[in-house]
Amino acid sequence: MEALGADFPTLLTGSIEVRGGTAGQFLWVEESCPEIRLLAPVVDFLLARRADFRWRPNPAAVRHEDLAGPAMQRILEVVSHHVEPPEVFVGWEKDDAV
């Protein structure tokens, strides 16, 4: 837990509340402290599609460190194909009658 910094809550209950924003915003926790498994439970929860889901740790389950390297490699391979969007400005004319 020390790797996460002093502001990270101590895990006492066996659960971590993950508040979603942009996809993947919780993965920094597992990246910083691989002992805290988050990717596998989230993937299993989404696949289970059940509100009463309970995760059971599995040593063979997916880990962030297993996918981060290949994902970054793929990003580097395709980044040259990225196309910048044209500079388009959306505007409107003010209607004085309103």
Task: In whole angstroms, give the CA distance from residue 7 to residue 1.
Answer: 10
- Looking up tokens 């990225």 gives 82
| pLDDT > 70 fraction of the chain, expressed in percent and rounded | 65
pLDDT above 80: residue 43: yes
Predicted confidence (pLDDT) per residue in 54-78, tens digit: 888 888 888 888 888 998 899 899 8
Distance (Å, whole) CA 46 – CA 57: 15
* Residue 80: per-residue pLDDT: 83
Report which of residues 47 and 20 the model is more confident about. 47
Distance, in Å, from the CA atom of 58 to the CA atom of 61, rounded to the nearest integer, reads 5
pLDDT of residue 14: 53
Query: Is residue 65 a contact partner of residue 39, using CB atoms and an 8 Å limit?
Result: no
pLDDT value at 13 more than 70: no
Nearest Cα residue to 2 out of 37, 34, 33: 33
Residue 52, CA distances (Å) to 5, 31, 93 in order: 32, 27, 52
Instruction: Answer whether residue 90 shows pLDDT above 50.
Output: yes
CB 11 within 8 A of CB 1: yes
